[in-house]
Amino acid sequence: MSDDAASPTRALTFPGQGSQAVGMGVALAERFPEARAVLDAVDEALGEKLSALMADGPEDALTLTRNAQPALMAVSIATLRAIEATTGKPADQLGAFVAGHSLGEYTALAAAGTLEIADAARLLRLRGEAMQTAVPVGEGAMAALLGVDLDDAKSYAADAAAEGGVCDIANDNATGQVVVSGSKATVERAVAIAAAAGARKSIMLPVSAPFHCALMAPAADAMAEALASVTLRRPDVPLVANVTASAITEPSDIRERLVEQVTGMVRWRESVMWMASQGVGELLEIGSGKVLTGLVRRIDRSVSARAIGSPDDVTAFAGAITG
């Protein structure tokens, strides 16, 4: 008899850029035909063997924004299909909400049936290219401010931008982990201001573009045009949107929030807190890596987190909810 009914309400979460790794998805595709079918569908949608790059690298090519974004979506949906096949439960029976970090929001929408996998792959390829070309290489930067709360980070960013350039809050990831993004010199000023104010540590991030800031406006315009021509269905599971940190279900709202997300702040800390306020007691991180699982533990220790990315993870989870 299943003990699933006694389990805490779950939400399904999907990682963002930085979680990619050469070899991701290979074991899943070998074990589960449903996972293999997802990778094949993404290859067909893009007209190239992205799955081969995921399997064999090289790492620098996989890390390119135009490749990493659709690749991470592909491996997450492949993992979800393996979970669905093994448990006999569709996504709307596995979680009460879906959410994804930045590009992971597109994955969440594919998981919830709002986007076709092929459309998600093509949109993420376009999104990656548009974000990469919005700012010339070397002119933008991002930095993680550690041991800093959101209000202080906003103050440091504003002080830095007052001297010229752009510095916005890109990610409110967890308590004491806020990422700023913008013009390189301005972000460096924000780091210096944070250090002078007693920030525990600040790290310049190895990124190719300043994501989630005002400099991404050309990419937002490109996504608005692309999304206008794509059919979005009402999700089977409500989406907790990055820019609102609350659930939305109307396709028109989803389209607008996806455009806003390109330049807007990823409110991940608040999103986790909102889901917890709705009775979610367990977050599943589906796909490559364990970044979101680590963040949950820093946001709310009353919420458990579980990363599912390998065939063994899939079978262990299926056993836990059906055994």
Q: Which one of the listed residues 102, 208, 271, 288 is annotated catalytic?
A: 102
What SS3 state is found at 296? helix
Q: Are strands 201-204 and 140-146 parallel, antiparallel or unpaired?
A: antiparallel
Q: Are strands 280-286 and 304-308 parallel, antiparallel or unpaired?
A: parallel
**Torsions phi, psi of 88, nearest 5?**
75, 15
For residues 158, 159, 160, 162, the Cα torsion angle rounded to the nearest 10 degrees is 80
DSSP bridge pairs for 285: 13, 307
Does 155 qualify as catalytic in the annotation? no
d(CA 105, CA 239): 8
Residue spans of alpha helices (H) in the chain = 26-31, 33-46, 50-56, 59-63, 65-87, 91-94, 104-111, 117-134, 150-161, 184-196, 217-228, 251-263, 268-277, 291-299, 311-322
25 in Cβ contact with 51 (< 8 Å): yes
Q: Which one of the listed residues 19, 51, 208, 212 is annotated catalytic?
A: 212
Does 212 qualify as catalytic in the annotation? yes
Angle value at C-alpha 117, between 114 and 123, nearest 5 degrees: 85
Residues forming the active site: 102, 212
